Amino acid sequence: MEIENRRRLHVISTGQQSREVLVEISKTIHPYIDMLHIREKTWTAAELIETVDELTAAGIPLRKLCINDRADIAWMKHVRGVQLSHHSAPVALVKERFPTLKVGSSVHSMQEALWACDEGADFLLYGNIYETTSKPGKQGTGIVNLEDIVLNIPLPIIAIGGITPGRVEDILRTGAKGIAVLSGIFLSEDPLEAVRAYYMAIHKEVKQLGETI
């Protein structure tokens, strides 16, 4: 049974790897993660569907899958979620017409977070918290802003951007629901070792929090 209240590890594909590599890594890491985001903006609908089929065949449950932007693919393949950004369809419209999908919204400010919340998003990806190789030169929003978002937005907040295992404790102490990682896992020399490091950092933190209560 899924424990709804526990901290979450989202992993996001990089847009830089082949389908074969994506599936192979996902197959290895999925027991440690809560959500795998297929974020491959140049892939066709047919390729995305083929990817979902291959991930499913590799034993990854549909409830752990989230498709970036393409609500139709998520809906047709019965995956758990769709992740939207400012260039996607509006959250409220997606929620209305695809009522069974979990809708994540990628936000970068309090204003965007409030808007996504009003529109009915189920969770938010907020960042980038730290400077990251995925967005070189873009300064991180930092922990203080993350805490501000967490305190003001009544939705699960998943922090993203430059998060290393060593930074997980700082992130989770803000009250963020979890973290999302791209290159830190998919582009790691050893993705299994990497995902385990994140997993342990998240669960160690939970234990410490429990001890201090």
Contact residues: a second copy, CB under 8 A? 44-47, 49, 69-73, 75-76, 86-90, 93-94, 96-98
Q: How far is the CB of 192 from a second copy (least distance, A)?
A: 32
Q: Which of 148, 152, 156 is nearest to 174 (CA)?
A: 148
Q: How far is the CB of 85 from a second copy (least distance, A)?
A: 9
Instruction: Report the C-alpha gap between 5 and 192 in whole angstroms.
Output: 24
Q: Answer for the pair 162, 129: CB distance below 8 angstroms, yes or no.
A: yes
Nearer CB in complex with a second copy: 82/163: 82
Interacting residues of 213 by C-beta distance below 8 A, sequence separation 6+: none
Instruction: Report the C-alpha gap between 79 and 59 in whole angstroms.
Output: 14
Nearer CB in complex with a second copy: 88/134: 88
Joined tokens for residue 82: 């769709």
Nearer CB in complex with a second copy: 97/173: 97
Nearer CB in complex with a second copy: 75/115: 75
Instruction: Report the C-alpha gap between 110 and 115 in whole angstroms.
Output: 8
Q: How far is the CB of 179 from a second copy (least distance, A)?
A: 26
Q: How far is the CB of 96 from a second copy (least distance, A)?
A: 8
